[in-house]
């Protein structure tokens, strides 16, 4: 992974925004922009190769983890337990500048030995390093915007069930909060 100052620009509600930070992986790039939901909200986008830039949703990583669970159940469970521990202890951002976001990801990488989960990269869509950083950013975003946030943790709990219910996992991950 290569961490660099943000250069990518996007339009959000007609307003141009420049990425704060970019994380380059072998075939993916994660972009972090200023968000609108709270003082230090972040807006996460990603791009695979030459495809268009996208907004990741919980359903994306949840489906990828379902595939990884089918392929390498024990290793995927170990990875999910590690991510759940990080989610349980993550705290809201106190700033969303380059240095803060860089430190967040570097500190997160120190809490997990990604090499031991590398086999998971051969299953599903996302390489494990990209998936971990995405999950770290999404969980931090969730906690930054709502101190009582629970969706990220709920999805992991569903995936960690011995006999998980795919409908329940997809339903929880796809919930938008809209009526």
Task: Give the E-state strand segments of the chain in sequence order.
Answer: 2-5, 9-12, 15-18, 21-24, 28-34, 42-48
Nearest-angstrom CA–CA distance, 154 and 157:
5
Total count of domains within the chain: 1
Given a cut of 50, whether residue 85 has pLDDT beyond it is yes
| Count, residues in the chain | 179
Taking residue 82's Cβ as centre, other Cβ atoms within 10 Å add up to 17
pLDDT of residue 176: 55
pLDDT of residue 178: 44
Question: What pLDDT band is residue 147 in, cutting at 50, 70 and 90?
Answer: confident
The answer for residues whose C-beta is within 8 angstroms of residue 148's C-beta and 6 or more apart is none
Residues 123-143 pLDDT 10s: 999 999 999 999 999 999 999
Does residue 179 lie within any of the structural domains? no
The answer for residues whose C-beta is within 8 angstroms of residue 105's C-beta and 6 or more apart is 3, 23, 133, 136, 137
In the chain, pLDDT over 90 holds for what percent of residues?
74
Domain residues for 65?
Answer: 2-174
- The answer to whether 40 touches 33, Cβ cutoff 8 Å, is no
Nearest-angstrom CA–CA distance, 102 and 46:
16
pLDDT of residue 161: 87
pLDDT of residue 150: 81
Does residue 45 lie within any of the structural domains? yes
- The answer to whether 38 touches 59, Cβ cutoff 8 Å, is no
Mean pLDDT of the chain: 91
78-99 mean pLDDT: 94
Comparison of pLDDT for 160 and 5, the residue scoring more? 5
Residues 11-34 pLDDT 10s: 988 899 999 999 999 999 999 999
136-165 mean pLDDT: 86
Given a cut of 80, whether residue 166 has pLDDT beyond it is no
């Amino acid at each position: 992974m290569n961490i660099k100052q943000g250069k990518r620009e996007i339009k959000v509600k007609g307003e141009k925004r420049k990425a704060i930070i970019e994380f380059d992986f072998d075939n993916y790039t994660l972009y972090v922009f200023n968000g609108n939901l709270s003082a230090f909200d972040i807006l996460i986008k990603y791009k695979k190769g030459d495809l268009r830039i996208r907004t990741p949703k919980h359903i994306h990583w949840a489906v990828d983890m379902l595939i990884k669970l089918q392929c390498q159940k024990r290793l995927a469970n170990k990875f999910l337990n590690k991510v759940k521990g990080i989610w349980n202890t993550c705290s809201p951002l106190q700033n969303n500048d380059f240095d803060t976001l860089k430190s967040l990801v570097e500190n997160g990488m120190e809490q997990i030995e990604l090499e031991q989960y590398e086999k998971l990269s051969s299953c599903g869509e996302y390489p494990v390093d990209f998936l971990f950083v995405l999950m770290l950013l999404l969980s931090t975003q969730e906690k930054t915007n709502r101190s009582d946030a629970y969706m990220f943790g709920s999805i992991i709990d569903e995936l960690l069930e011995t006999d998980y219910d795919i409908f329940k996992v997809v339903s929880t991950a796809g919930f938008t909060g809209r009526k």
